[in-house]
């Protein structure tokens, strides 16, 4: 025990000078830093009035796409649901009936399509897995809600507007995707 105490150095405190004792120098240094940052560009934005630009790889809410004739692109193949690692996508397929050729591209369509946004991790695998370019991730944030059930989006919530009946809303819903679509 004696050997241990011999090796430990005891730190001695120097007495403070007058300027150090009234903390004037430290206050002046802090004020200098504050004044330096007053004239710099602010990092915050006023959200409702200003919108932050998105990165080109930003992934937001999922959208179900339509073709140029207004028919749903989704053929209920289920690849998006299989590719989803969080199992957030639920779908049920149905057969197209006679007279519904204007609504669906193929014989099969998604009768029920739901995405649970509480489980979604915005990975983009559903978009990559879709062979018909029916699912894509938009530049829209997931809105806040008060109930869990309002975070489950069904097919009517996810489908973009019909390009024949509402071409302006269709173009707005596609956003930057209009230039990327084939």
Determine the length of the chain. 182
Q: Please tell me the distance from the alpha carbon of residue 109 to that of residue 104, in angstroms, as a whole number.
A: 7
In this prediction, residue 175 carries a pLDDT of 64
Q: Please tell me the distance from the alpha carbon of residue 167 to that of residue 177, in angstroms, as a whole number.
A: 15
Q: Each residue of 150-177: pLDDT tens digit?
A: 999 999 999 988 888 888 888 777 765 5
Other Cβ atoms within 10 Å of 113 Cβ, number: 27
- Tell me how far CA of residue 85 lies from CA of 82, 120, 139, in angstroms: 8, 9, 21
Enter the pTM of the model. 0.66
Alpha helices, DSSP H, located in 39-140: 79-83, 125-129
The gap from C-alpha 140 to its chain's centroid, in whole angstroms, comes to 7
Q: Each residue of 17-40: pLDDT tens digit?
A: 887 788 888 889 999 999 998 888
């Amino acid at each position: 025990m004696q050997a241990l105490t011999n090796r430990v150095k005891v730190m001695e405190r120097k007495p403070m000078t007058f300027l150090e004792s009234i903390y004037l120098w430290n206050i002046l240094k802090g004020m200098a830093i504050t004044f330096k940052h007053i004239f710099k560009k602010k990092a915050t934005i006023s959200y409702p009035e200003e919108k932050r630009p998105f990165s080109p790889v930003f992934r937001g809410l999922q959208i179900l796409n339509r073709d140029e004739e207004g028919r749903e692109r989704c053929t209920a193949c289920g690849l998006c649901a299989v590719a989803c690692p969080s199992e957030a996508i639920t779908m049920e397929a149905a057969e197209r009936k006679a007279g519904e050729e204007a609504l669906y591209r193929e014989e099969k369509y998604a009768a029920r399509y739901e995405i649970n946004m509480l489980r979604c991790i915005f990975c983009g695998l559903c978009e990559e897995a879709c062979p018909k370019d029916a699912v894509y991730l938009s530049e829209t944030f997931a809105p806040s809600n008060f109930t869990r059930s309002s975070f489950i989006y069904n097919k009517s919530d996810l489908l973009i507007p019909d390009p024949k009946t509402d071409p302006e809303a269709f173009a707005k819903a596609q956003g930057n995707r209009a230039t990327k679509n084939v």
